[in-house]
A = this chain, B = another copy of it.
Amino acid sequence: MAYTLRVEAAQAVGSVPILQAMGVRLVDVRPGFAAAELPPEPNVNHFGVTYAGSLFSVAEMLGGVLCLATFDLEPGGELDGCVPIVKESTIRFRRPAVGVVRAEASLPDAEVTRIRRDALATGKAEFVLEARLTDAHGEVVSTAIGTYQLRIMSA
């Protein structure tokens, strides 16, 4: 498996202590795609399955990671100063999650182009990202649909 981890994406996880505490681990990050894994411990709830809030977190953070891997947000880059913000998210818990959970999300090329164009033109671009969470058997345990904005951060 190819591990393409942009430094900024890895730092984004590392800079949120509670994501580190969950053990969230980026496993495949490249332009238009992000995947992460969530281990059972310390995310297991009192029913012995992965806690809803941890499932939400590993799904939600993909939006930020994907932006960092897809758009040139670095100092001096064409979208320097833009940051990804989550506006709203709906998560559906489809079945109990046991073991390591993998979350992944992608943006089609045309959507990447549209977001980049909107952000360059107006300093703001909204997009919707669907994250799919699966267990070790490939069964979908949750799906999450997040609405994000990539926008110039006000000082």
Binding site for B on A (CB under 8 A): 11-12, 15-19, 21-22, 41-47, 51-54, 56-57, 60-61, 83, 85-93, 153
A155 to chain B, nearest CB (A): 12
Contacts of A87 in B (CB 8 A): 92-93
Task: Report the Cα distance A26→B151, complex, angstroms.
Answer: 35
Given known pairs A12-B46, A46-B12, the reply for A19 and B53 (CB within 8 Å) is yes
Task: Report the Cα distance A17→B92, complex, angstroms.
Answer: 22
For this chain, the copies found in one complex come to 2
Contacts of A51 in B (CB 8 A): 16, 18-19, 57
Task: Report the Cα distance A15→B44, complex, angstroms.
Answer: 9
Tell me whether B56 and A44 are in contact (CB under 8 A).
Answer: no
Tell me whether B93 and A15 are in contact (CB under 8 A).
Answer: no
Tell me whether A42 and B21 are in contact (CB under 8 A).
Answer: yes
Contacts of A42 in B (CB 8 A): 17-18, 21
Tell me whether A18 and B22 are in contact (CB under 8 A).
Answer: yes
A21 to chain B, nearest CB (A): 5
Tell me whether B86 and A52 are in contact (CB under 8 A).
Answer: yes
- Out of B16, B47, B92, name the residue touching A45 (CB < 8 Å): B16
Tell me whether B91 and A89 are in contact (CB under 8 A).
Answer: yes
A76 to chain B, nearest CB (A): 19
Tell me whether A46 and B15 are in contact (CB under 8 A).
Answer: yes
